[in-house]
Amino acid sequence: MNTIRALLADARQVLAATADTPALESEILLAHVLGQDRSWLYAHPEHAPTAAEITAFTKRLARRRDGHPIAHLTGRREFWSLTLSVSRDTLIPRPETEGLVEIALEVTPPDDADILDLGTGSGAIALALANERPNWRVLGVDRDAAALEIARANARGLGLPSVEFERGDWFSALPAGTSFDLIVCNPPYVAQDDPHLARGDVRFEPVQALVAGEDGLDDIRAIIGAAPGFLRPGGWLWLEHGRDQGSRVVDLLQGQGFQQVALRRDLAGQERYAGGRMPVRFLG
């Protein structure tokens, strides 16, 4: 009989050669197919799924063995304690990007602020910030219409309808005179010939959300160059970047007149975030 115990044992063998955590991933996929959480699997090891459920599980297992991301097979990804819908139209939110949320919460006044999340994708950063700071006015911008559909659906599902989303290429969606206390962005920052593009989950993600020219900095240059026109005095710009790009991003920020320019490290100790503050203008 194909019980949960037996199915998971077989699945671990299927994924053993290609997955770092075959047991965990097997459980995630089976729990998703059954509409349960993983703890339910532990409590019901002798439960026999239906033939249709076994077929659905087997198909997802085969796709995972072939390298398809878990998030695409379940349509879900956890980010900052939020469960987000994702698709092949969005970048899969990663734990490193939670560091950008932490920085945003640290540098921005908690009671009242206008926030811009550029390249919002699934809405992960924008929604995490709105969930933590209900008084903030948060706008997410993305050039991809399909990604914005996902972001808006996530906002509705999480009960965060006050977060707004607009379509545009970086700042192009914003009217002249629009300004923010914080601009935050996880932009494309992979070089076009980076060998990592042929490995792992990124093979199945939208290339326009990953690649930014020969050195990976094309979009970061564009954002830093235009951001001062949309930041209030004392407002911050913070960006996620590649682990070997920190010094170059710092140079770009300083060259554009940002002050208090700084680098922050991710949990793995890699330089991952760079930011700077617009000068405060004193009257007199």
> 33 and 166 in one domain?
no
- Asked whether the predicted pLDDT for residue 173 surpasses 90, the reply is no
Burial class (CB in 10 A: 0-12, 13-18, 19+), 268: exposed
> 255 and 212 in one domain?
yes
CA dist., res. 134 & res. 113, Å (int): 10
Evaluate whether residue 123 is within a structural domain: yes
Q: Look at the chain and report how many structural domains it folds into.
A: 2
* Domain extent at residue 255: 76-277
Listed residues 67, 88, 104: the one ending a domain: 67
Q: What is the pLDDT of residues 58-75, one digit of tens each?
A: 999 999 988 888 888 888
- Asked whether the predicted pLDDT for residue 191 surpasses 70, the reply is no
> 202 and 84 in one domain?
yes
Residue 109 has a pLDDT of 87
Residue 153 has a pLDDT of 95
Listed residues 29, 49, 67: the one ending a domain: 67
Evaluate whether residue 283 is within a structural domain: no
Q: For 258-276, what is the mean pLDDT? A: 94
- Asked whether the predicted pLDDT for residue 207 surpasses 80, the reply is no
> 272 and 148 in one domain?
yes
Higher pLDDT, 161 or 118: 118
Listed residues 38, 67, 96: the one ending a domain: 67
Most distant CA pair in the chain, distance: 83
Q: Which CATH number do you get for residue 33? A: 1.10.8.10
> 229 and 180 in one domain?
yes
Evaluate whether residue 157 is within a structural domain: yes
Residue 205 has a pLDDT of 61
Tell me the pLDDT of the chain averaged across its residues: 89
Q: Which CATH number do you get for residue 255? A: 3.40.50.150
Q: For 8-16, what is the mean pLDDT? A: 92
> 202 and 155 in one domain?
yes
Residue 18 has a pLDDT of 83
Separation in Å, CA 119 to CA 32, 48, 116, 176, 267: 29, 44, 10, 19, 23
Are the C-beta atoms of residues 87 and 215 closer than 8 Å to each other? no
> 192 and 249 in one domain?
yes
Q: How confident is the model at residue 214 (pLDDT cuts 50, 70, 90)?
A: confident
CA dist., res. 196 & res. 191, Å (int): 10
| pTM for this prediction | 0.85
Q: Which of 125, 134, 174 is nearest to 154 (CA)?
A: 125
Q: How confident is the model at residue 194 (pLDDT cuts 50, 70, 90)?
A: low
